[in-house]
């Protein structure tokens, strides 16, 4: 009986692959490095072979698998399974993701934008499951968004809707991977949090954070918890940008919940609390107290469960 799905959370740094049942329980999980620099075909070959090895180890037949759901960064054609463009995957233009993964695994495969998959996962398996109006915002190597309105994933005329990370907040701001300037992603993604910290080196060369050598976004948040000056300045900028962005999303979509996930969200309350405090400053009075901003409780598994949910809800 086909009662399980494979969920694949394709990230810029690592890819998470999980065997998931219809209740959203992860029965087995593997994490592999994505190695984007190897190119599209090598990345997907490694992903496909990991899926096959997982099934073999668990003694599970392909006949038990409903399908593979894969959340991919960028613009995707969900009908053909082609990745049209992905800012953080340089050679993934018109990449036939479904076709190639099906060739390797011989399992039906469905592709969705990764942030849309995250939003679906929150709707299907999260703390507020089946809530009618949810925004999912992912903060990681990039910044993505997925919007569910009245229990329906918002996809738009061409399927490209909800690129919330590429809303421009500073037209003269830093260059984003998408080619525009001043996108939310150019401030709030993990690499750009690090970039902003490094920009303070000339002004604060003796800052503790520069003694760490190679800085990560986690280092910035950890230093901010200790009151370190550079990290505090970066945190103030990032949370203000996110509060402005979220207030705009609230004005447009009127959600019940804004759920924040992705690797950057692991910073916890030092990230969330300023966003919650600042967002109402940018809202019409009538929108205040109509929503909640929360961190995902699915943590590491949101992308896997979201990708698996693509399969389950295409099969209903």
Which residues constitute the domain of residue 86?
A: 4-120+301-314
Residues 137 and 260 in one domain: yes
Structure tokens at 138: 């992912």
Alpha-carbon span 170 to 233, nearest angstrom: 18
Q: Specify whether 264 is located in the same domain as 305.
A: no
Give yes or no: residues 106 and 192 share one domain: no
pLDDT score for 315: 53
CA nearest neighbour of 164 among 196, 132, 188? 188
Q: Which has the closest alpha carbon to 184: 229, 136, 138, 233? A: 138
pLDDT score of 1: 62
C-alpha to C-alpha distance for 250 and 266, rounded to whole angstroms? 23
d(CA 14, CA 138): 15
**Hey, how many other C-beta atoms are within 10 angstroms of the C-beta on 282?**
16
Asked whether residue 168 falls in the same domain as residue 246, the answer is yes
**Beta strands 65-72 and 14-21, pairing class:** unpaired
- Tell me the pTM: 0.89
Tokens coding 39 = 């190119």
Output the six-digit token pair for 213.
């050598």
Distance CA(45)–CA(15), nearest Å, equals: 13
Please indicate, yes or no, whether residues 40 and 106 belong to a single structural domain of this protein.
Answer: yes
Query: Residue 85 maps to which CATH number?
Result: 3.30.420.40
How many domains does the chain fold into? 2
Residue located via tokens 């003269």:
172
Name, in order, each residue with C-beta under 8 angstroms of 234's C-beta and a sequence gap of 6 or more: 193, 196, 197, 200, 220, 224
Task: Quote the tokens at residue 315.
Answer: 């099969």
Domain co-membership, 113 together with 134? no
Which stretches of the chain score pLDDT less than 50?
Answer: 316
Judgement on whether residues 289 and 307 belong to the same structural domain of the protein = no
Cα distance between residue 234 and residue 187, in whole Å: 9
- φ/ψ of residue 121, rounded to 5: -65, -40
Can you give the pLDDT at residue 253? 98
Q: What is the rounded distance in angstroms from the CA atom of residue 278 to the CA atom of residue 16?
A: 33
Q: Which two tokens stand for residue 99?
A: 């076709």
Please report how many Cα atoms fall inside a 13 Å half-sphere around the Cα of residue 8, on the Cβ side: 29
**What pLDDT score does 299 carry?**
73
Q: Which residue, among 51, 56, 53, has the nearest Cα to 16 in the 3D structure?
A: 51
Do 175 and 273 share a structural domain?
yes
Q: Helix (H, G, I), strand (E, B), or coil: what is residue 153?
A: strand
41 and 113 part of one domain: yes
Answer for the pair 100, 44: CB distance below 8 angstroms, yes or no. Answer: yes
Q: What is the pLDDT of residue 244?
A: 97
Tell whether 105 and 234 lie within a shared domain.
no
**Are 133 and 64 in a shared domain?**
no
Q: Are residues 98 and 158 in the same domain?
A: no
């Amino acid at each position: 009986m086909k009662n399980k799905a494979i969920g694949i959370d394709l990230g810029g740094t690592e890819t998470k692959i999980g065997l998931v049942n219809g209740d959203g329980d992860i029965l087995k999980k593997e994490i592999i490095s994505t190695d984007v620099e190897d190119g599209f075909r090598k990345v997907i070959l490694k992903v496909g072979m990991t899926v096959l090895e997982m099934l073999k180890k668990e003694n599970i037949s392909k006949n038990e698998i409903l399908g593979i759901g894969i959340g991919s960064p960028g613009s995707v054609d969900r009908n053909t399974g082609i990745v049209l463009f992905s800012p953080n995957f340089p050679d993934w233009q018109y990449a036939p993701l479904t076709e190639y993964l099906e060739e390797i695994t011989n399992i039906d495969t469905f592709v969705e934008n990764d942030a849309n998959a995250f939003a679906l996962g929150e709707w299907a398996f999260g703390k507020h499951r089946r809530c009618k109006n949810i925004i999912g915002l992912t903060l990681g190597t990039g910044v993505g968004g997925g919007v569910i309105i009245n229990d329906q994933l918002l996809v738009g005329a061409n399927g490209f809707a909800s690129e919330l990370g590429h809303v421009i907040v500073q037209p003269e701001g830093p260059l984003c991977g998408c080619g525009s300037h001043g996108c939310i992603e150019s401030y709030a993604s993990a690499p750009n949090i690090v970039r902003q910290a490094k920009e303070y080196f000339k002004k604060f060369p003796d800052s503790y954070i520069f003694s760490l050598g190679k800085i990560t976004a986690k280092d910035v948040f950890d230093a901010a918890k200790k009151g370190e000056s550079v990290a505090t300045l970066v945190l103030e900028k990032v949370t203000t940008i996110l509060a402005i962005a979220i207030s705009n999303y609230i004005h447009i979509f009127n959600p019940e919940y804004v759920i924040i996930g992705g690797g950057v969200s692991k910073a916890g309350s030092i990230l969330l609390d300023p966003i919650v405090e600042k967002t109402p400053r940018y809202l019409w009075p009538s929108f205040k107290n109509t929503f909640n901003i929360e961190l995902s409780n699915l943590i590491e598994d949101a992308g896997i469960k979201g990708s698996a949910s693509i399969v389950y809800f295409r099969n209903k």
